[in-house]
Amino acid sequence: MSKHLESLYQNLLNGKLPHNLSWSETVELVEHLGEVQPHGGDEFVFRVGSQRVFFKRPQTHDLGLEEVSRLRKLLKEAGPRSHAEGPAQPSRMIVVIDHHAAHVYQDFGGSRPADEHKVQPYLLTISIII
């Protein structure tokens, strides 16, 4: 998501309602988070997560305050973006352990591991004095 859309998303959720939110920005944001489908004439269905709301294209360039408020409600009820972005990508984890360290690789559906974490073993030294 672009920085502009991310900022717009955060402002809609947590900030002061914008008074000059354009229809095109709104559609772009909702398409990024979910989907926008025409529903005859100037009406559209906005779907984000499990939420679905009907919006009419405004006569002016910008959404009215009431429509921006409805958009905020839709986004809040849809929940965090991670749920709205679709199902999680399948992944697998491979752990390689030797006497020096454990290497943990995580594969996010690619042909080779995409992420590696190295874990150093905890060495316990015991000294015996006789």
Give Cα 15 distance to the centre of its chain: 18
Same domain, 73 and 31: yes
Does residue 14 surpass a pLDDT of 70?
yes
Domain end (from 68, 84, 100): 84
Please give the average per-residue pLDDT across 99-105, as a whole number. 72
Residues spanned by the domain of 110: 89-130
| Higher local confidence (pLDDT), 106 or 21 | 21
Same domain, 46 and 105: no
Does residue 82 surpass a pLDDT of 60?
no
Give the CA radius of gyration of the chain: 24
Tokens of 79: 């929940």
**pLDDT score recorded for residue 86:** 45
Q: Which pTM was predicted?
A: 0.59
Residues 33, 3, 80: CA angle, nearest 5 degrees:
35
23-52: pLDDT as tens digits: 999 999 999 999 999 988 889 999 999 899
Residues in a beta bridge with 108: none
Alpha-carbon distances of 115 from 36, 74, 111, rounded to whole Å = 34, 34, 12
Domain end (from 69, 84, 99): 84
Same domain, 66 and 8: yes
Same domain, 39 and 102: no
**pLDDT score recorded for residue 125:** 52
C-beta of residue 64 within 8 angstroms of C-beta of residue 58? yes
pLDDT category of residue 71 using cuts at 50, 70 and 90 = very high
Same domain, 52 and 93: no
Same domain, 77 and 118: no
Same domain, 77 and 117: no
Tell me how many domains the chain contains: 2
Same domain, 12 and 39: yes
pLDDT category of residue 98 using cuts at 50, 70 and 90 = confident
Same domain, 12 and 67: yes
In whole angstroms, what is the distance from residue 26 CA to residue 20 CA?
11
Please give the average per-residue pLDDT across 55-81, as a whole number. 89
Same domain, 21 and 76: yes
